Amino acid sequence: MDLGIAGRKAIVCASSRGLGKACARALAEAGCEVVINGRDAKRLEATAAEIAKATGAKVAAVAADVATPEGQKALLAACPQPDILINNNAGPPLRDFRELTRAQMIDGVIANMIVAVELIQKVIDPMSQRKFGRIVNITSGSVKMPLAGLDLSSGARAGLTAFLAGVARTVAGNNVTINNILPGAFDTDRLRGTLTKMAEQKGVSVEEAAKARAASIPAKRFGDPSEFGAAAAFLCSAQASYITGQNLLIDGGTFNGAF
């Protein structure tokens, strides 16, 4: 399926690995020019080279912390007029809410809510003027089904979801869409880190923890990042212009609800 976005320019935050990398690759496969981002310059350059080789697309790497004004400036200097923005950032680690300090809570809200809003502020009006824009925010399945220990992540991402729900409606008439993708358990470094912690707490092997976690998912497996990337690319497509303000849950059926 031709997504109709060949030649479009995309920024994908936190994309040196995991779900962000999968999104960047899917957009590159669709013919986009992609700017990827991360804080580990060596890993980032390797990812850019890998995606460029696999897809033939133009891929630029910007090593920067997008939580800082300097990082955001560097990202937009590399791609001044993005047609596509995918907001992504690592969530806070598992932690009992009683242990959270004020500083940790503020940092969590900045990373998982405020940064995305700031970037959207910078790109949304030019997108509206050009009559094309696709913004996708990677949030979490915990927005709909909160998990103990991920309370800060759930709260910050739910705040972003509510904040942008109204914003999405104000720009829909200009062919600018804003949607969120809520991932469940995907086979990423972050999941493996969580499973390692779970294994330590329960006194079992990582393999046993992974097997038990996968068994709790109706699909009986973890998601492949490429599946996530394909969904994100579709939401960025020409064909998705009538989809906005929505939350796409991709979790193998974990959330047990009809709506």
Residue that the structure tokens 């990398």 belong to = 21
What is the reported pLDDT for 197?
85
Look up residue 196 and give its two tokens.
């390692």
Q: Residue 90 gets which letter from DSSP?
A: P
Q: Which fold has domain 9-186+223-250?
A: Rossmann fold (3.40.50)
pTM recorded for the entire structure: 0.95
Residue that the structure tokens 């090593």 belong to = 63
Residue 91 pLDDT > 90, yes or no?
A: no
Strand spans (E) along the chain: 9-12, 33-38, 59-63, 84-87, 133-138, 176-183, 247-250
Residue 31 pLDDT > 90, yes or no?
A: yes
Q: Quickly state the pLDDT bin for 190 (edges 50, 70, 90).
A: confident
State pLDDT tens for residues 99-118.
999 999 999 999 999 999 99
68 sits in which H/E element? none
Going from N- to C-terminal start, the domains of the chain cover 9-186+223-250, 187-222
Q: Which of 41, 246, 56, 213 is nearest to 136 (CA)?
A: 246
State pLDDT tens for residues 43-55.
999 999 999 999 9
Residue 147 pLDDT > 90, yes or no?
A: no
